Amino acid sequence: MAGKYDVVTNERKFWLNFRRTVAYIGLTLMCILCLFFFYIMLINCTRSHNEIQRAGLAFLPSTSFISNFTAVATDANIPLMKGMLNSIIVSVGTVFCSVYFSAMTAYGCHVYDFKGRKFAFNFILLIMTIPTQVTALGFVDMMRSWGLLNSLIPLIVPAIAAPTVFFFMKQYMDSSLPIDIVEAARIDGANEYRTFNSIILPILKPAMAVQAIFTFVSSWNNYFTPNLLITKTEMKTLPIMVYMWRCKDYASISMGHIYMVITISILPVMIVYFCLSKFIIGGVTLGAVKG
């Protein structure tokens, strides 16, 4: 019996190892496929227009990185660095307004038992179904009447009302935030703002990190709203600058410059992800330990 049991156990271990190996090979291939296009982009930003046109695909960097970067950064007609600064201001402000105030709103709906709480929750969810394009015309007219065209304020402040972020925070609180913690803080004498800022926000770090990444990417890539509100070149955000580079006269377009512009526009998003990913992994690990 012992020999037969050992044979079954060894066979099971073999198939488990085989499945694990196949899974690792598949994930590695998928990872290589996903990163391949980023690698080609980085390679092409180091090549000149003639090299890209003549040689096509290449896997080794060239020597035109500095010249491409200099040409892109010093172009007086399309101030790309100014556009990047505007996009950073807008994206960081949007992330703060969206994540912080959505978490505060979700906290209010989760902790306080007030009349109309269910209606408020459903009403906020209803707003999620309204596309931005539907309200764009009225929003532009309102900003024009307030004198806020060619300003970054209309791109930041409306992020306070972010129903998608609110819904995510509310669901996270329902699963990970017991009311006992809030009641214990009240018994210890902490006011509501102290409780929220010092106790609740640290618990919400994983959820806030996820929404911060999504919100930053969405705001960073937003072309529709800034294009409606901003006409001055020095106030335009990076997506508009990238489009302006792509729409230049065909005779003056350099593919090396285009790849450099795309590389510059993607780097901040990658930096934000790498900075916040540890909170996501920490949250997943914490949930696994609790389970």
Domain definitions of the chain by residue range: 2-66, 67-290
How many helices (H) does the chain have, and how many strands (E)? 15, 0
According to CATH, the topology of domain 67-290 is MetI-like fold (1.10.3720)
Structure-block tokens of residue 159: 């992020």
Q: Where are the alpha helices (DSSP H) in 146-187?
A: 153-156, 163-176, 179-187
- pTM for this structure? 0.81
Residues with Cβ < 8 Å from 140, sequence gap 6 or more?
149, 228, 229
CB contact at 8 A, 177 and 186: no
Along the 291 residues of the chain, how does pLDDT read in single tens digits? 545 555 557 777 777 888 889 999 999 999 888 888 888 888 888 888 888 888 777 788 888 888 888 888 888 788 888 889 999 999 999 999 999 999 999 888 888 888 888 888 888 888 888 887 888 888 899 999 998 889 999 999 998 888 889 988 888 888 888 888 888 888 888 888 888 888 888 888 888 888 888 899 889 989 888 988 998 888 999 898 888 887 776 666 778 888 888 888 888 888 888 887 777 665 544 443 344
DSSP characters over 72-124: HHT-SSS-HHHHHHHHHHHHHHHHHHHHHHHHHHHHHHHH---TTHHHHHHHH
Q: For residue 214, give the H/E element and its range.
A: helix 205-220
